[in-house]
């Protein structure tokens, strides 16, 4: 059974993330979408909230599971029997950073491979940071995030209860 892990902060999940999930789910027997900690970002949603938001958007994919982890990615993968990391790339700048991370992961466990999936061209501009900024200005989020979570994003931004706000 082939198991891949798509790690990220997913704060919130975007249509670009969902596109990568759909494509990776078609290639692997099981895809684990893993909400990870990114210490360089101030989160809009908690770990638990992000898992629930993603679960609502991936319910149509029977071979996709959603979990959260605070451990090192390669350790998480060992406990799940996964051998492939999926990373979506929007631009060359993404590749530079993700390539370095892939080399570190391979150094930690040389049995793990990283598969880079180029973004669909219609999502190359899209990031969770863009979504949060557009939500703060009241923009229509239909072309940014899955319809299942638009209200959640708007409500969180309007409430001012962002997890990472000071």
Kindly tell me if the per-residue pLDDT of 166 is higher than 50. Answer: no
* Count of domains for the chain: 1
Given 50, 128, 132, 156, which residue is catalytic?
Answer: 128
pLDDT of residue 14: 95
Whether 165 is in a domain gets the answer no
Residue in the block written with tokens 């892990």: 5
Whether 55 is in a domain gets the answer yes
Average pLDDT over residues 133-137: 93
Among this protein's residues, is 128 annotated catalytic? yes
Whether 107 is in a domain gets the answer yes
Whether 135 is in a domain gets the answer yes
Given 56, 90, 120, 127, which residue is catalytic?
Answer: 90
Residue in the block written with tokens 């799940």: 80
Q: Tell whether the torsion through CA atoms of 156, 21, 98 and 14 is positive or negative.
A: negative
Domain limits at 83?
Answer: 3-159
Among this protein's residues, is 106 annotated catalytic? no
**What tens digit of pLDDT does each residue of 1-24 get?**
899 999 999 999 999 999 999 999
Q: Which helix (H) or strand (E) holds 32?
A: strand 30-35
Among this protein's residues, is 90 annotated catalytic? yes
**What tens digit of pLDDT does each residue of 13-71 get?**
999 999 999 999 999 999 999 999 876 777 899 999 999 999 999 999 999 999 999 99
What is the CATH number for 85? 3.40.50.620
């Amino acid at each position: 059974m082939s198991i891949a892990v798509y790690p990220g902060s997913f704060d919130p999940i975007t249509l670009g993330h969902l596109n990568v999930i759909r494509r990776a789910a078609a290639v692997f027997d099981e895809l684990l979408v893993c909400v990870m900690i990114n210490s360089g970002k101030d989160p809009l949603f908690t770990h638990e909230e992000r898992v629930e938001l993603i679960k609502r958007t991936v319910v149509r994919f029977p071979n996709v599971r959603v979990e959260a982890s605070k451990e090192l990615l390669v350790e998480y993968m060992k406990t799940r029997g996964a051998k492939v990391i999926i990373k979506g790339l929007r631009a060359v700048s993404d590749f530079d950073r993700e390539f370095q991370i892939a080399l570190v992961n391979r150094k930690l466990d040389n049995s793990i491979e990283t598969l880079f999936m180029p973004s669909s061209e219609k999502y190359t501009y899209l990031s969770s940071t863009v979504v949060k900024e557009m939500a703060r200005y009241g923009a229509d989020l239909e072309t940014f995030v899955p319809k299942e979570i638009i209200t959640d994003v708007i409500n969180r931004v309007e409430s001012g209860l962002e997890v990472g706000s000071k």
